[in-house]
Structure 1
Amino acid sequence: MSLLEQIKISKDIKQLSREELKALAGEIRERIIDVVSKNGGHLASSLGVVELTLAIHYVFDLPKDTLIWDVGHQSYAHKLITGRNDIFDSLRQYKGISGFSKIKESAYDGFTVGHSSTSISAGLGVCYAKYLNKDTSDVISVIGDGSLTAGLAYEGFTQTGDLKRNLIVILNDNDMSISPNVGTLSSFLSRTFSAKYLQNLRNQFGIFLKSLPKIGDNIYNIAKRSEESFKAFITPGMLFEAFNFDYFGPIDGHNLEHLIDILKNIKNPKDPVLLHVTTVKGKGYEPAEKNPVYFHGVGSFAVDTGKSNHISNGIPTYTQVFGSQMIKLAKTNEKIVAVTAAMPEGTGLIEFSKLYPDRFFDVGIAEQHAVTFSAGLSSKGLKPVVAIYSTFLQRAFDQILHDVCIDAHPVVFAIDRGGIVGEDGPTHNGLFDYSYLRCMPNMTIMAPKDENELARMLVTAVNYNGPVAIRYPRGIGTGVKIEENPKPLEIGKAQVINEGDDVLIIAIGKSVCEALKANKLLKKQGIHATIINARFVKPLDTNLIIEYALKIKKIITVEDHVLDGGFGSAVLEMLTDKGVTGFSIKRIGIKNRFVEHGPQDILRRDYGIDSAAIVNAGLELHGNKIK
């Protein structure tokens, strides 16, 4: 039996020797690589924290002590040693375990996460709750260097330092380059400074200095500055010391001996502590070490080569169409600039960044800044296109409303991953954007039925003098030909794409294709549908919709979005406000719930937003039931 198979709960690893822990790290990496190569997932980040994960579980008493992973996509090793090895093959699969930390999945998962930069704030909340409950157990928040680009992390640092709670923050730095000599010396000093007796001695000596009449505080501050100057000379800890954190590091995050020693030393701290560890993304798997960006979030691949198993059918993704159209538009419009929040690859802007480096801005994981920065660009005549996933744009609600919409700055929001995303689950499905954008004055919202319409909408947006959001799905398009010179759309103008007298289907975005599929099935039942491709969530084509609603009293709205405040709500509100009566309506969309992870087609079926759901709604409106 392998070492990993012997680990049923976290405490089991405490029975292993340190040499056995190193062997276990190798087995964990093999297991992660094997499963992710089949299921896809976040490989590089998880491989980079194997030793750190083992050291935390070896030293601390989980789940009594609380461990919070920032983002959570690096938690695969954590899952393997907390009772989930037997079901790890179901990672990110339908009805299987999540690819992120999830409270409902395990008591060992200290917080449900999926968006970055939350672990310090959440950790402080847990830490203070324990204090009020007279619980002296530890709280450990692990955060990556990339997540420190978000202001939320510093808000957490600020209050933690102010409250002086005993939170342990581990900075997993997988990008900073430190020479071996400095790293070795720093590792030694960190372990030395962190020794329990030295911490106690320093605290006692500080109390003594402060007690000296008249001169105590001055001498203490001189001593403190001297210590900080020495440590800052050889370590980058000055920033964290400014937040009232005791800083240790950086140390090698793959050296189990050092990790265990220093974690033992900083366990049960009296004040906030930050341990800085340096790791290698993709550690132990050469293709991932060489290309950590690709293997950050990857589909299935061949383990021996690292090459993707995906076979292209030649149809571009919506993301690729957006990226190529941005390049075409930028050639003839020098005012166009592109802004993204740490997702140049994911949003399709890599080629744009190479061709127009002075007109491309990756602001890091800082969506709020991205939006307000773009408002500033726009205020001086530029045309910023902000490409951010739907789920992440939620974080910038106030900035869109206040900094863009109040003055109607012509900022274009290219909202990728709108609708059901799939295997990443509830933290990543983009099901709320219509609702949170539709309520904003001056905002125009579009969603394309296919990739050519996306190209036309992008042309429309960059030529429109006001805030515009274009929302499109993850995955490949429909395979339609993209016009060489896409023409702009008339703002608020819908498209009738099929005529029928029995039912009116008003669909938006990807749901238009589902409506067309449903139309074929309804015809077999003797039901003929008029299908309207709404194109715009806001403004709606009021005249067209009312014209058909007055003729066809049975109406179905379809959207890949929550029903609450979504597209169907907009249609219903408009008809009611305009005094249209006598109609029956069924709104197809996601009910007020979070959608779990799984393949997109299965999720659309199970949550009732596919063509079968439209057919069922059409039959019910005519007094029939689907067979």
Structure 2
Amino acid sequence: MQKTLLHTIDIPADLRKLDPSQLPQVAQELRDFIIHAVATKEGHLGASLGVAELTIALHYVFNTPVDLVVWDVGHQAYGHKILTGRREVFETNRSLNGISGFPKMDESEYDTFGTGHSSTSISAALGMAIASQLTGDIKKQHVAVIGDASIASGMAMEALNHAGITNTNLLVILNDNAIGIDPSVGALKQYFSKVTLDGAPETDNIFEALNFEYSGPIDGHDLDVLISEMSRLKNIKGPKLLHVITKKGKGLRQAEEDQVKYHAPGKFDAKTGEVYPKSTEVLPPKFQDIFGKTIVELASQNDKIIGITPAMPTGSSLKYMMEAFPERAFDVGIAEQHAVTFAAGLATQGFQVFCNIYSTFLQRAYDQVIHDVCLQKLPVIFCLDRAGIVGEDGATHHGIFDIAYLRCIPNLIIFAPRNAIELRNILFTAQQGLDTPIAIRYPRGRGEIKDWIKPFKSIKIGKGIQLKSGKTIAILTVGTMALNAQKAIASIKKTTNQDTIGLYDIRFIKPMDEVLLSEILKKYQVIITIEDGVVSGGFGSAILEFAAKFHFKNTFEILGIPDSFPQHGTVEELYHLTGISEEKIKETILKYLK
């Protein structure tokens, strides 16, 4: 490849040696690099394209890594990674043993704070700024880069409220592009929409009211203006906010025109920008689409059904209900706590509320689940998308804790469907009028059933099922882990001709089918449990608690996620590493057969 200016930049100090007139060329080369990398390796595209100039200006004006820059969420940090020593290894982005798709403290000294969930940057940067005050390091700069969708979150507002009464050397850069993953929503979005490059809104400035020195809005793609204004703000004491207007997907026409699709478009043609056509093969549906299409079908028959998502209408497929019944489907923005208590309020008035939140993001509303829903026994229906291992997004996004953190809460049903039909039927069952809340956890990606639209059948709460009878070893699974177990058992039968292994889908993690469990523990000596969640406090632990309570003396083996944070890689690779792949399950079973 022909040498470019970008290839002379190994660290930001190299960038700062360039003349300002050379920086637009760096921005173009940076965009080209990101486009070509993501086109072949997949990943997050639009957000990083939109902040190319902003990224360059930050590292040009501030003395990173001495000065500290915190990126919110981190979808937009590809350019930052490329300029901070990871250009040559960027092809390993989001791959097993490669660099992370998000900022990560142990990866680089330039990654000052690990991110993956939104709205943490201002709190973290304020903590760093206070620390500098306490140590007398008054020259150090602290910058939080946050989007207009993230700044509307409660945590970001809490941090702004606190920062405004400090005299810290804190600069908040509001990257205003009117979109997160889906278009931004809410009154703050409407407020920002009044702000144009021609001037501030006619109403009082919300940030000045919070004691921030407000600057902007300015063009986030004009390097001269960015550098000039950042340089000026470096010399102003106290908290500052720079309002920057950018366009997500800047530099790739399709990414500018379809910002939702090109947030993470998959593989595409780097020259034309066109996403490669999907296979013509008819594939089983994604679990998120099973949810999205089923809830529309149910809502057409039940006018008490409400759908809620915190900023994930496309990712959760609640978009289908938002299109069909816009008055009964709500995107509340990046506000998981509000989403849960909003659902609770609706439930008090007799509505059947489906609150769809990614498993990893429900962690952010744990108190609301306990205090506002379960304590009051309000029948909110939690649909936990992306439960279990999610793959390349890595440690911040794996939904591996929900079984453990939900299982200890009273008044809560927990169900894990093993396939599309089970998911469809539990959604039907839940809206028939449960008298207690329920959490339905299902994975990212597709199942294996193509013909999934069947007549609805009610599922009896707390009832597990036998998938295969056996004699000596019983495999107990929840959710889609049944499929890995079935394949392992079939492989063992084929290679050893042994058919002594029983398989049971427990389905309900809470309440468990104690009658079925008693029968299993009386019949089989060896019990192997399999879950796509953490072993500590998870499904297997629940089985051991049951066995201890009733004095069973079986041999137990618990398969699941060990006591560590799985990193990024394909789902299959991570299943293998954590011992729950078909091959690893087979190895465990054979150990006991021998």
How far did 1:178 drift?
A: 11
How far did 1:89 drift?
A: 1.1
Matched, 1:292 2:263: no
Superposition RMSD on alpha carbons, in Å? 1.8
- Cα distance in 2 for residues equivalent to 1:251 and 1:6: 29
Matched, 1:433 2:402: yes
Matched, 1:596 2:564: no
Matched, 1:68 2:70: yes
| Alignment-mate amino acid for residue 389 of structure 1 | Y
Pick one of 245, 261, 268 that aligns with 2:212: 245
**What does residue range 361-376 of structure 1 map to in structure 2 within 5 Å?**
361-376=330-345
List runs of 5+ in structure 1 lacking aligned partners: 187-230
Cα distance change of structure 1 residues 309 and 89 upon mapping to structure 2, 3 Å threshold:
farther
Cα distance change of structure 1 residues 448 and 34 upon mapping to structure 2, 3 Å threshold:
same
Matched, 1:566 2:548: no
Aligned to 1:306: 274
Cα distance change of structure 1 residues 504 and 167 upon mapping to structure 2, 3 Å threshold:
same
How far did 1:302 drift?
A: 2.2
| Alignment-mate amino acid for residue 120 of structure 1 | I
Cα distance change of structure 1 residues 17 and 180 upon mapping to structure 2, 3 Å threshold:
farther
Matched, 1:469 2:436: no
Matched, 1:350 2:349: no
- Cα distance in 2 for residues equivalent to 1:511 and 1:385: 24
Aligned to 2:31: 29
Aligned to 2:480: 510
Matched, 1:164 2:167: yes
Matched, 1:151 2:121: no
Instruction: Check the 8 A contact 1:445/1:537 in 2, yes or no.
Output: yes
Instruction: Check the 8 A contact 2:166/2:239 in 1, yes or no.
Output: no
Aligned to 1:226: none
Aligned to 2:548: 576
Matched, 1:485 2:452: no
How far did 1:314 drift?
A: 2.5
3-state SS of 1:431 partner = coil
How far did 1:545 drift?
A: 1.2
Instruction: Check the 8 A contact 1:502/1:527 in 2, yes or no.
Output: no
Aligned to 2:285: 316
Instruction: Check the 8 A contact 2:195/2:201 in 1, yes or no.
Output: no
Cα distance change of structure 1 residues 460 and 275 upon mapping to structure 2, 3 Å threshold:
same
- Cα distance in 2 for residues equivalent to 1:182 and 1:373: 29
- Cα distance in 1 for residues equivalent to 2:129 and 2:303: 51
Deviation string, structure 1 residues 279-298 (Cα, Å, up to 9, x no partner): 00000000000001111122
Deviation string, structure 1 residues 373-393 (Cα, Å, up to 9, x no partner): 000000000011011111111
How far did 1:173 drift?
A: 0.3
3-state SS of 2:368 partner = helix
Pick one of 237, 243, 258 that aligns with 1:270: 237
Aligned to 1:210: none
Aligned to 1:13: 15
3-state SS of 1:259 partner = helix
**What does residue range 436-455 of structure 1 map to in structure 2 within 5 Å?**
436-455=405-424
- Cα distance in 2 for residues equivalent to 1:393 and 1:76: 26
Aligned to 2:109: 107
How far did 1:305 drift?
A: 4.0
| Alignment-mate amino acid for residue 34 of structure 1 | H
3-state SS of 1:162 partner = coil
**What does residue range 522-533 of structure 1 map to in structure 2 within 5 Å?**
522-523=492-493, 524-525=495-496, 526=498, 528-533=500-505
- Cα distance in 1 for residues equivalent to 2:108 and 2:431: 47
Deviation string, structure 1 residues 89-120 (Cα, Å, up to 9, x no partner): 11112211111111111100110000000000
Cα distance change of structure 1 residues 609 and 244 upon mapping to structure 2, 3 Å threshold:
same
List runs of 5+ in structure 2 lacking aligned partners: 179-188
Instruction: Check the 8 A contact 2:421/2:454 in 1, yes or no.
Output: no
| Alignment-mate amino acid for residue 329 of structure 2 | F
3-state SS of 1:346 partner = helix
Cα distance change of structure 1 residues 385 and 308 upon mapping to structure 2, 3 Å threshold:
farther
How far did 1:255 drift?
A: 0.5
Structure index of larger Rg = 1
- Cα distance in 1 for residues equivalent to 2:238 and 2:510: 51
How far did 1:269 drift?
A: 3.2
Deviation string, structure 1 residues 394-423 (Cα, Å, up to 9, x no partner): 100000111000111110011000000001
| Alignment-mate amino acid for residue 306 of structure 1 | E
Cα distance change of structure 1 residues 447 and 419 upon mapping to structure 2, 3 Å threshold:
same
Q: Which TM-score applies when normalising by structure 2? A: 0.94
Matched, 1:380 2:349: yes
Q: Which TM-score applies when normalising by structure 1? A: 0.89
**Identity level (%):** 44
Provide the aligned length of Structure 1 versus Structure 2: 576
- Cα distance in 1 for residues equivalent to 2:20 and 2:197: 20
3-state SS of 2:117 partner = coil
Cα distance change of structure 1 residues 237 and 420 upon mapping to structure 2, 3 Å threshold:
farther
